[in-house]
Amino acid sequence: MLSTKYLETFIITAEYGSFRKAGDALYITPSAVIKQIDLLEEEVGVPLFVRTHRGLVLTESGESLYNDARAIQAMLEKAAERARKLAQGTDDVLYIGTSPITPAEFITEKWEAMYQKLPGMKVQIVPFQNTEKEISHVFRHLGEEIDIISGTIDEKHLAWRNCSGIVTEYCKAEIAVPMSHPLARHRHIKTEELLHQEILLLEKGKMEVMDRIREDLLSRDPTVRITDFPYYGMEVFNRCEQSGAALVTMEKWTRAHPTLKTVEVEDWDYQVPYGLLYAKEPSAKVRRFLELL
């Protein structure tokens, strides 16, 4: 695991383009700067700078690490600020996570009716990417960097993500297919029309409704081609578009991918509970917000 010990030295060296100038800014000797950079390069395993007659220039790897290091630095500063506010009892910002499949539209819909009852409360939108690594990070630190995100709410999903949730609506389970797929010509289909397709379906044990759909499909045809995927993220929507498979999704995610069409399955009566996800032990400000819902 990469240590953050020398990241500040690295950032300042990259910005000044000189060991001497970085040392002056940090009040240490140039040789101390060089030693820290050497140790960081050894830890990362690749060169971070190229020495030129004009000074230090970041390598491609160094440029990548610099951008990430700045983001880490900003996140740490923000975490420290929030810790101070919590200690002072003045943390009045609600941090709402948002991504292409976890939109923050519930804030837009509810806030006008709620803000008068939450005097002083502010909202900050925190975007994140729907990658497995980042989603796992969001849920591990729910209540620290992000207070609330939208998502599916059922006991299996809450247990998987180790969080709590409140249901605000129910959404129909549907399928998504590429525009070129034969089923895309229809607004409605029946389950039987799915049985000859490759079907992308969430892994068993992670969501109650998806497990019931799996049982339904297998009871109709034990040889149906079901391909599991580990989580709902942009990767699976891209995979659907590229592979031509039918993705079991829901109406809430109709706009998740611009070239996929959502089709209703007439004989499905599967309703996905949807709402807000938050830490198992929410802060006082989150509890006040939830009470007003």
Is the domain of 280 the same as that of 147? yes
State which of 45, 71, 97 marks the end of a domain.
71
Q: State yes or no: pLDDT of 88 exceeds 60.
A: no
Instruction: Please write the tens of the pLDDT for every residue from 130-178.
Output: 888 888 888 988 988 899 999 999 999 999 999 999 998 999 999 999 9
Percent of the chain with pLDDT over 70: 95
- Total-model pTM: 0.68
Please report, for residues 115, 128, 255, the alpha-carbon distance to residue 111 in angstroms, rounded to integers and kept in the order given.
6, 22, 23
> Residue 91: its pLDDT value, please?
60
Q: Hey, how many other C-beta atoms are within 10 angstroms of the C-beta on 199?
A: 20
Q: Chain-centre distance of CA 10, in angstroms?
A: 28
Instruction: Please write the tens of the pLDDT for every residue from 96-128.
Output: 999 888 888 877 777 777 777 777 778 888 888
> Residue 199: its pLDDT value, please?
97
Phi-psi region of 134 (alpha: psi -120 to 50; beta: other; left: phi over 0): alpha
Q: Hey, how many other C-beta atoms are within 10 angstroms of the C-beta on 151?
A: 22
Is the domain of 119 the same as that of 196? no
Q: Hey, how many other C-beta atoms are within 10 angstroms of the C-beta on 207?
A: 24
The pLDDT-based confidence of 266 (bands split at 50, 70, 90) is very high
User: Which residue matches tokens 């509810």?
Assistant: 110
Is the domain of 261 the same as that of 281? no
Is the domain of 263 the same as that of 176? yes
Is the domain of 44 the same as that of 107? no
Q: Residue 257: which CATH number?
A: 3.40.190.10
What angle, 0 to 180 degrees and rounded to 10, lies between the N-to-C axes of helices 7-16 and 30-44?
A: 110
Which tokens is 100 given?
């292409």
Q: Hey, how many other C-beta atoms are within 10 angstroms of the C-beta on 2?
A: 14
Q: State yes or no: pLDDT of 82 exceeds 70.
A: no
> Residue 242: its pLDDT value, please?
93
Q: Residue 60: which CATH number?
A: 1.10.10.10
The pLDDT-based confidence of 85 (bands split at 50, 70, 90) is low
User: Which residue matches tokens 């953050």?
Assistant: 4
13 close to 56: Cβ distance less than 8 angstroms: yes
More confident residue, 74 or 234: 234
User: Would 83 be classed as within a structural domain?
Assistant: no
The residue segments making up the domain with residue 127 are 89-167+275-292
Is the domain of 161 the same as that of 193? no
State which of 71, 105, 121 marks the end of a domain.
71
Report the amino acid identity of residue 215: E
Q: Backbone phi, then psi, for 34, in 5-degree steps?
A: -60, -40
Instruction: Please write the tens of the pLDDT for every residue from 183-206.
Output: 999 999 999 999 999 999 999 999
Q: Hey, how many other C-beta atoms are within 10 angstroms of the C-beta on 243?
A: 13
Radius of gyration of the chain from Cα atoms? 24
Q: Which residues contact 129 (CB under 8 A, 6 or more apart)?
A: 99, 234
User: Would 129 be classed as within a structural domain?
Assistant: yes
Instruction: Please write the tens of the pLDDT for every residue from 222-255.
Output: 999 999 999 998 889 999 999 999 999 998 898 8
Instruction: Please write the tens of the pLDDT for every residue from 3-45.
Output: 677 889 999 999 999 999 999 888 899 999 999 999 999 999 9
Phi-psi region of 48 (alpha: psi -120 to 50; beta: other; left: phi over 0): alpha
Which tokens is 175 given?
């399928």
User: Would 80 be classed as within a structural domain?
Assistant: no
Q: Where are the beta strands (DSSP E) in 144-258?
A: 148-152, 164-178, 188-189, 198-202, 225-229, 246-250
* Number of domain units in the chain: 3
What angle, 0 to 180 degrees and rounded to 10, lies between the N-to-C axes of helices 19-26 and 7-16?
A: 130
